[in-house]
């Protein structure tokens, strides 16, 4: 296998940089009131909700009921690009709002909370990243979607969890050496799958990093017939125990298609809403996040995703606040990396359809 040289230092977050998860507590009556008002304003403003699977079930239900979209980060980008709406309300984290703006500069993009960030984005500061890339000019720069617009502007390719292996395989087949940032676990997984020559940034997702391999082994022994579904942002020892490793969409599809009654799931538990909808008769169990004596911080729920709420959603629609802005020069440079991925995945789908015909 090709060399796997890491960055010279780690970019993991300190505990103080991680917000506490605050879940919105609302009564049924308030929920009804909020959703009625939001529905009315969405119509008046020709706006749609584009939400990630990790957001609160109330937001996902509202998006589905109002012609919006709930998906993984790749399809969120595609949907925003294809929708006729003048305003996109992106319920997710900052990089998702920025990607929507980069692909749709003429649209208004709002987010319920502009502080909803991501440990991978925070752990890949533009200045350090540019220096790292400049030090390795013979490498193709591939960044995960979970990065700032400025970091994407320095990249050749943006990839998502659902597309990373295919893109890197393609680049490796052309003999390219790769800089990968920022998720070290996803980078290691992609390298193992492709054998590519990769320089890997040392960032991590604070949610997936907490899944524990030893405790997962114990859980698997308790549920010997269960299948294990793992997002590739998880540590290698957790990934190694998976029956399926894949994006959030792949995990939802697996609960429908795999022949098992019980599933142990190593990703944010916000996804359980769609998994239960997809397979109501199946049992879904959270993979363990706390080892003996240890306590988890995120406990399988992203604290930044949890910042999206119905109350804040109504507030931004009423006030027009929390608009995502990205400088024109950054848009121009970042768009190339994102569009390259969208073109690559469209070509792949077209080839698959042609082969099936
Ligand atoms: P997906 O692209 O698989 O939805 O992942 C996004 C993410 O942030 C996972 O933590
Ligand atoms: Fe980022 Fe992890 Fe939250 Fe996904 S779950 S947005 S990778 S911190």
Q: How far is the CA of 338 from the centre of ligand 1 (A)?
A: 16
* Cβ contacts of 124 within 8 Å, gap of 6 or more: 11, 143, 147, 148, 151, 181, 182, 201, 203
Q: How far apart are CA 196 and CA 313, in angstroms?
A: 42
Residue 81 confidence (pLDDT): 82
Query: What pLDDT does residue 20 have?
Result: 85
Q: Atom 2 (ligand 2): residue with closest C-alpha?
A: 205
What tens-digit pLDDT sequence spans the chain (357 residues)?
A: 555 666 668 899 988 899 988 888 899 999 999 999 999 999 999 999 999 999 999 999 999 999 999 999 989 988 988 899 999 999 999 999 999 999 999 999 999 999 999 999 999 999 999 999 999 999 999 999 999 999 999 999 999 999 999 999 999 999 999 999 999 999 999 999 999 999 999 999 999 999 999 999 999 999 999 999 999 999 999 999 999 999 999 999 999 999 999 999 999 999 999 999 999 999 999 999 976 666 788 889 999 999 999 999 999 999 999 999 999 999 999 999 999 999 999 999 888 788 877
Tell me if 116 CB under 6 Å of ligand 2.
Answer: no
What pLDDT, on a 0 to 100 scale, did the predictor assign at position 339? 95
Which of 118, 120, 160 is the pocket-test mutation for ligand 1 (most atoms within 8 Å of CB)? 160
Which residues have any ligand 1 atom within 6 Å of their CB? 72-74, 146, 160-162, 205, 231, 233, 247-248
Closest ligand to C-alpha of residue 204 is: 2
List Cβ neighbours of 27 (8 Å cut-off, separation of 6 or more).
none
Q: How many CA atoms lie within 13 A of 63 on its CB side?
A: 26
Mutate to test the pocket of ligand 2, among 71, 119, 189, 307 (most ligand atoms within 8 A of CB): 119
The tokens for 14 are: 């300190």
Q: Token digits for 165?
A: 């292996």
- 165 close to ligand 2 (CB < 6 Angstrom): no
Put residue 352 in one of left, alpha, beta given phi > 0 → left and psi -120 to 50 → alpha. alpha
Ligand 1 mutation pick, 99, 189, 205, 247, max ligand atoms within 8 A of CB: 247
Q: Which ligand is nearest to the CA of 301?
A: 2
pLDDT at residue 222, as a whole number: 97
The DSSP-derived string for 245-313 is E--HHHHHHHHHHSS-SEEEEES-GGGHHHHHHH-TTSEEEEPP---TT---SSTTS-TTGGG--HHHH
DSSP 62-100: HHHHTT-EEE-HHHHHHHHHH---SEEEEES-HHHHHHH
- CB of 306 closer than 6 angstroms to any ligand 2 atom: no
Q: What is the pLDDT of residues 145-169, one digit of tens each?
A: 999 999 999 999 999 999 999 999 9
- Helix, coil or strand: residue 180: strand
Q: CA of 145: how far to CAs of 59, 95, 356, in Å?
A: 22, 7, 30
- Give the pLDDT confidence score for residue 352 in this predicted structure: 79
Element spanning 219, H or E: helix 213-222
* Closest atom of ligand 1 to CA, residue 52: 4
Q: Which ligand is closest in space to the CA of residue 52?
A: 1
Confidence (pLDDT) at 341: 96
- CA 351 to ligand 2 center in whole angstroms: 32
The pLDDT value recorded for residue 152 is 98
d(CA 11, CA 205): 11
User: From the alpha carbon of 71, which atom of ligand 1 is closest?
Assistant: 4
Ligand showing the shortest atom-to-Cα distance for residue 206: 2
Query: Does the Cβ of 260 fall within 6 Å of ligand 2?
Result: no
Chain segment 196-216, per-residue pLDDT in tens: 999 999 999 999 999 999 999
């Amino acid at each position: 296998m090709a060399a796997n040289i890491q960055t010279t230092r780690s970019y993991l977050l300190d505990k103080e940089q991680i917000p506490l998860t605050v879940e919105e507590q609302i009564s049924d009556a308030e929920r009804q009131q909020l959703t009625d008002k939001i529905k009315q304003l969405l119509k008046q403003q020709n706006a749609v909700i584009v939400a990630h699977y990790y957001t609160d079930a109330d937001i996902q239900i509202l998006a589905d009921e109002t012609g919006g979209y709930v998906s993984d980060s790749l399809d969120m980008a595609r949907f925003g690009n294809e929708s006729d709406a003048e305003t996109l309300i992106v319920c997710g984290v900052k990089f998702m709002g920025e990607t929507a703006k980069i692909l749709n500069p003429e649209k208004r993009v709002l987010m319920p909370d502009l502080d909803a960030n991501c440990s991978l984005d925070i752990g890949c500061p533009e200045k350090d990243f540019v220096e790292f890339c400049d030090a390795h000019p013979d490498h193709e720069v591939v960044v995960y979607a979970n990065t700032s617009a400025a970091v994407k502007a320095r990249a050749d390719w943006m990839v998502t969890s659902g597309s990373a292996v295919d893109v890197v395989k393609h680049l490796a087949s052309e003999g390219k050496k790769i800089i990968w940032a920022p998720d070290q676990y996803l980078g290691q997984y992609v390298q193992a799958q492709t054998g590519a020559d990769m320089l890997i940034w040392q960032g991590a997702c604070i949610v997936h990093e907490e899944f524990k391999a030893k405790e997962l082994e114990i859980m698997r022994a308790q549920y010997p017939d269960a299948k294990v579904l793992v997002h590739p942002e998880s540590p290698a020892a957790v990934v190694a125990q998976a029956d399926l490793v894949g994006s959030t969409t792949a995990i939802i599809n697996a609960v429908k298609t795999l022949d098992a009654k019980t599933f142990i799931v190593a990703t944010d538990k916000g996804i359980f809403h769609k998994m239960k909808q997809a397979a109501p008769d199946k049992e879904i169990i959270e993979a363990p996040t706390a080892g003996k004596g240890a306590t988890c911080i995120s406990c399988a729920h992203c604290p930044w995703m949890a910042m999206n709420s119905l109350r804040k959603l109504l507030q931004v629609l009423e006030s027009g606040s929390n608009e995502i802005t990205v400088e024109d020069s950054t848009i121009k440079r970042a768009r190339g990396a994102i569009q390259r991925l969208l073109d690559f995945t469209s070509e792949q789908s077209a080839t698959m359809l042609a082969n099936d015909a």
